[in-house]
Amino acid sequence: MRVLLVEDERRLAELVKSGLAGEGFAVDIALDGSEGLWLATENTYDAIVLDVMLPRVNGYAVCRRLREAGNWTPIMMLTAKDGEYDEAEALDTGADDFLSKPFSYVVLLARLRALVRRGGRERPVALTVGDLVIDPAGMKCRRGDAEIALTPKEFAVLHGLARRAGEVVSKAELLEQAWDFTYAGDPSIVEVYISALRRKIDAPFGRSSLVTVRGAGYRLDGRL
């Protein structure tokens, strides 16, 4: 699940990014509204966390321009403490939710998960691929009635495949979805997580649902 965080307080942004990364989110940071608008336009995100008070272009303008351009990525705006006018304007410009500063990280995480679950359009609470069920909001996975324990990064890779079940997803696309855009490590890291997923979601159940398509990528097959 890929999130764009637009926040000019660098320390706060890094703390939030670190926490979300531990929960399986890939987070890109923009430190001003102009950069945030560019990243939101050039990339695909599951959600955007957008501060109101930003240098260059404020959060309201970023939100309004994205909506005017037909970008309906879910947006949570960070407003001033007890700023009821901020909250009202955030919703009026097209935001889906708001959170007042200072905020609880636990509340931010819960609201962000709910925002991702709702998405920019109606989507099911859980993704079902054959008898494999992936719950993005609860970060849970099961095969039939059997719960499967996954690390946050394993879940992020599986979620990227499940969203396009039956289609071939390239290694580059999985890197983009499960790691942030600054990742400069070895792309073969994807293969490591694919192998780990096979050991957890397929091998114990006698399945071969995670298929390698040579030279193209990977496909999650729902056929039993």
pLDDT of residue 182: 65
Mean pLDDT of 140-147: 93
Residue in the block written with tokens 């990977």? 218
pLDDT of residue 10: 93
pTM over 0.75: no
222 falls in which pLDDT band (50, 70, 90)? Answer: confident
114 falls in which pLDDT band (50, 70, 90)? Answer: confident
The residue among 162, 164, 169, 168 whose CA lies nearest residue 134 is 162
Mean pLDDT of 88-113: 83
pLDDT of residue 125: 56
Q: What is the pLDDT of residues 157-212, one digit of tens each?
A: 999 899 889 999 999 888 887 876 667 678 889 999 999 999 999 999 999 999 99
Q: Does 108 have pLDDT greater than 80?
A: yes
Distances (CA, A) of 67 to 7, 15, 30, 70, 132: 19, 28, 19, 5, 35
Backbone angles phi, psi at 112, to 5 degrees: -65, -40
pLDDT of residue 186: 82
Q: What is the pLDDT of residues 151-171, one digit of tens each?
A: 988 998 999 899 889 999 999
> If you average pLDDT over every residue of the chain, what do you get?
87
Burial of 76 (0-12, 13-18, 19+ CB in 10 A): buried
